[in-house]
A and B are shown apart, each in its own frame.
Chain A
Amino acid sequence: EAGVAQSPRYKIIEKRQSVAFWCNPISGHATLYWYQQILGQGPKLLIQFQNNGVVDDSQLPKDRFSAERLKGVDSTLKIQPAKLEDSAVYLCASSSKRDSGSYNEQFFGPGTRLTVL
């Protein structure tokens, strides 16, 4: 079974520029997550999709970050314009629809390392 795919793996941009990251989840996984992992910290959830609908985007800085999951499969996360503090690894994860009362194991992609200069 193929894992979660992300691209690009690395990106360097200057502040105020725009950038987009792409994620292709495991086939059949209904739930997709985007996390921001700043160096030395744990992953922080930015947005969670269930199929193509947003379940939780409470920690997404909506003035500059946007995400979409058209057709409920792959997803794009965009930052426009980027700030220095956006330098981080952006992780995508996916999970299958789980039964009520059980946890949902998340499978992570390798991440995209963003450096904003």
Chain B
Amino acid sequence: GNSVTQMEGPVTLSEEAFLTINCTYTATGYPSLFWYVQYPGEGLQLLLKATKADDKGSNKGFEATYRKETTSFHLEKGSVQVSDSAVYFCALTFTSGTYKYIFGTGTRLKVLA
């Protein structure tokens, strides 16, 4: 079946540190891949996306590259800020069928000043 696996949190970093949150997927076919962010008390917001192999999604200093050979979509940021503290979800969907999203379990990031 289709699934998404994320590294467990929480991840605690100091401000300006480098961030990597690992995400790997299992899929029958060629999914589109996403990172969503959830700030405390809010719903999920799309952070970035990639729809085909070798695409790089980027937004607000975050980046992730769709690696088909390793079935991965790791999230990175060169210098995190306190305001980046949130829960990050990796997800996939397909461009056919029911277009259902499958989410990972989420990784909580805490950035300390």
Q: Which residues of A contact B (CB under 8 A)?
A: 4, 31, 33, 40-45, 48, 55-56, 91, 93, 95, 98, 100-106, 108-111
Chain A residues with CB below 8 A from B105, complex form: 40-42
Closest to B103 in A: A42
Q: Which of B40-73 contact A (CB under 8 A)?
A: 41-46, 49, 51
State which size class the interface on B falls in: 20 to 34
Chain A residues with CB below 8 A from B46, complex form: 105-106
Contacts known (A56-B98, A91-B44, A103-B93); A42 close to B106, Cβ less than 8 A:
yes
Query: Once bound together, how far apart are the Cα atoms of A40 and B108, in whole Å?
Result: 9
* Besides A48-B98, A106-B101, A109-B43, 12 other A-B contacts (C-beta < 8 A): A41-B105, A41-B106, A42-B91, A42-B103, A43-B89, A56-B100, A91-B44, A100-B96, A104-B99, A105-B49, A108-B45, A110-B43
Pull 18 A–B residue pairs with CB atoms less than 8 Å apart, ordered by A.
A42-B89, A42-B91, A42-B103, A42-B106, A43-B44, A44-B103, A45-B100, A45-B101, A55-B98, A93-B44, A101-B95, A103-B51, A103-B93, A103-B94, A103-B99, A104-B93, A105-B49, A110-B42
